[in-house]
Amino acid sequence: QVQLVESGGGLVQAGGSLRLSCTTSGRTFRSYPMGWFRQAPGKEREFVAAVSMSGGSTYSADSRFTISRDNAKNTVYLQMNSLKPEVTALYYCAAREGTVWRIASRADDYDYWGQGTQVTVSS
């Protein structure tokens, strides 16, 4: 079982930046490809970015967002720049079983989820 805890959300003005973090206490963190998703009220959960086990392969659905990981710290990050009000949502990190890198953009690709951290961008 992988327990994920997100942090770093908050209220920011449009044009600002935030860095989200997702940590786990599990020793097998480096064995999981990771992803970030977001969900706004009344909307479906939306894929944001994914990273391979090593961190050497990444994909972001939004060029303003960058995903990375530090396996020594059991942490995955989402750097978000030039924020706009439309990205206001609850942001989740997720871990996926499997070793082969692919752009896993469906929520049901992932096996473990955190509780989310709220990001609110004001205009």
25 torsion bin: left (phi>0), alpha (psi -120 to 50), beta (else): alpha
The pLDDT, as a whole number, for residue 27 is 74
| pLDDT (0 to 100) of residue 99 | 83
Name the residue among 70, 60, 57, 67 with its Cα closest to residue 23.
70
Within 13 Å, how many C-alpha atoms sit on residue 6's CB side?
26
The tokens of 65 are what? 């967002």
Average pLDDT over residues 57-69: 97
55: DSSP letter: S
State the average pLDDT over residues 25-38.
Answer: 90
Look at the block and give the residue holding tokens 């059991």. Answer: 74
**pLDDT of 25 over the 90 cut:** no
What integer pLDDT is reported at residue 32 of this predicted model?
94
pLDDT at site 37:
98
Q: What is the mean pLDDT of residues 54-73?
A: 96
Q: What is the overall mean pLDDT for the chain? A: 95
Average pLDDT for residues 79-100, to the nearest whole number? 95
